[in-house]
Structure formats: structure tokens, C-alpha cells
Amino acid sequence: MVEESPDVLFDIAGPVATMTLNRPAKLNAITPRMTDAIRGQADRINAERGISVVILTGAGEKAFCAGSDISELDAYDTAWEFRSRPDYCDAIRSIRKPVIAAVNGYAFGGGLELSMSADIRLASQTATFAAPEIKLGWIGGGGVSTFLARSAGPSNAALMLYTGDPVDAATALSWGLVSQVVKPDELLPAASELAGRIGQRPPIAAQTAKLNLRAAYSLPLENAIQYERDLQTICFATEDAAEGRSAFAQKRQPHFHGR
């Protein structure tokens, strides 16, 4: 059963699911209850064949997500209990389908990690990105160092991690943290348009492309190429691939069914 929370909204329109962090008065800071809801919705997304792509965003104009609600952190009795807590970034990374983060304001701390747990990031001109944990005496734990080093490069990653200071959307774009920056009122339409395009692609191929991209980060070159070739073979054997070849030969639009 999916954990329900008024602070995490969930909507499905055709092949596109939208998950909205809905705590704007608290800059969409995430509570343990919200984490449970995010984990439940991630499981639902993986289970429902009709969902092909996900948009992740925050309610309101000020914030995508300001990370974990700091007022909740003292509820953990020990550091190990804190270490072993369920993690919302892990939940987003567990989604097998493409995820687009529509970043509409502050993406700080865990919010930065949450956005980078998505596959594609679009940002409003008002978006800002920061890893401010160092200012409070700790560092991030949701993958921020790895993500920043891969996306922004080691020097820019160090700049963000060592100072905790924010960077604006234009800087994030120039560093490769986001793919596109748009006006605030164009953010969700841009995310929806992109999600619609991805949603038209054959689901197995889209999920396999995501799996392959992740492997490319962690495998040695020759192993990564061999893994890609194996995944290609799996896709080639699907009904969707046969339909794609048939549609190409007949000069018509293909109709994919995820088989």
C-alpha cells in the first residue's frame, strides 16, 4: 500500500507521473513521513506499466526543496540511527523510469541531492543550488560529492562543498548541473513537453537506456561497452523493436506497447 501524505502530491496524466513536494511554507523541506510517501510512490511508479516518465518538482515559487527538515534531525537517538534512516534520494534513484527534475527555486542540501538523483534537470531562472551542510558542521550524504564531481567537475564541486555557498541557475547551466534554464512560468510546461517526448519512446528501451547510462559511470570502458551491447540485444528482441523496424519500413508512426 502506498503511503499517503498531503505533503507529497502525485498525479498521472497519460504516461507522465508528476510528484510534487507540497510544503511550500517550509521550503518543501522533507520530513520522515514525506520520505515514506516518496518511497511508496517510487514503488508505485515502478509497478505501473502505464507510467513511462516522471516529473519531480516543488510547490510554490521559492523552493524546489531545502533538503531534510533540520528540526526533525534531533529525533534520531544516535548517529547510527540517523545513518540507517530511509533516504528520499535513494527512493528517487530506485525509479527505473526516466525522471525529470523541474527545479523552481532553492535546491539546497538534500534538495540538491534530490535534484541530482533525477536523470535530467531543468531549472527556472530563479533556481539556486547549494550544499550548505558544511556551514552546520556536517556534509551531505545522499551522493552529492559524486554527483557534483561528475556534473560540474572536481574544482567546481570542491567550491560548492567547501564553502556551502549557492550558485545561480546560469552558473549551474554553465557547469553542467542542469540541461536548460527557462523563465519561471515556462518551467513546468518545458518539463511536461520533454516528458511527453520521452513518454512517446518505447518504455523498455527508455528504461534500458537509463540502466545503461548508470552502468557507464561505474564500469571500466570495455565492460561498459560489452554491457551496452548485451542490453542492445535484449531491446532488439522486443516486440517494440520489431514494431519500430516495421514502422520505419512502412513510413508510419510506430505504436509501442512495452513488450
Q: What is the CATH number of the domain that holds 232?
A: 1.10.12
Based on the fold, state whether residues 34 and 128 are members of the same structural domain: yes
Q: For the chain, what is the mean pLDDT?
A: 91
Measuring CA to CA, which residue among 6, 10, 11, 45 is closest to residue 23?
6
Say if 30 falls within a structural domain.
Answer: yes
Pair 221, 177 in one domain: no
Q: pTM of the entire structure?
A: 0.91
Q: Name the domain count of the chain.
A: 2
**pLDDT score for 2:** 55
Q: Could you tell me if 195 and 211 lie in one domain? A: no
**Is 259 within the bounds of a domain?**
no
Is there a single domain that holds both residue 118 and residue 224? Answer: no
What nine digits make up the cell of 204? 523498455
How wide is the angle at C-alpha 24 spanned by C-alphas 21 and 25, nearest 5°? 145
Looking at the domain assignment, is residue 56 inside a domain? yes
Distance CA 52, CA 16 (A): 6
Determine the pLDDT at residue 146: 92
Sequential DSSP letters for 80-134:
HHHHTS--HHHHHHT--S-EEEEE-SEEETHHHHHHHHSSEEEEETT-EEE-GGG
- pLDDT tens for each residue of 72-129: 666 666 767 666 666 899 999 999 999 999 999 999 999 999 999 999 999 999 999 9
Are residues 107 and 228 located together in one domain of the fold? no
Q: How confident is the model at residue 191 (pLDDT cuts 50, 70, 90)?
A: very high
- Amino acid symbol at 152: A
| Predicted confidence (pLDDT) at residue 177 exceeds the cutoff of 90 | yes
| CATH code of residue 147 | 3.90.226.10
CA-CA distances (angstroms) from residue 226 to 132, 212, 215, 220? 40, 11, 11, 10
Supply the range of the domain harboring residue 34: 8-199
Q: Are residues 14 and 60 in the same domain?
A: yes
Q: Does residue 192 share a domain with residue 71?
A: yes
In this structure, the answer to whether residues 172 and 233 fall within a common structural domain is: no
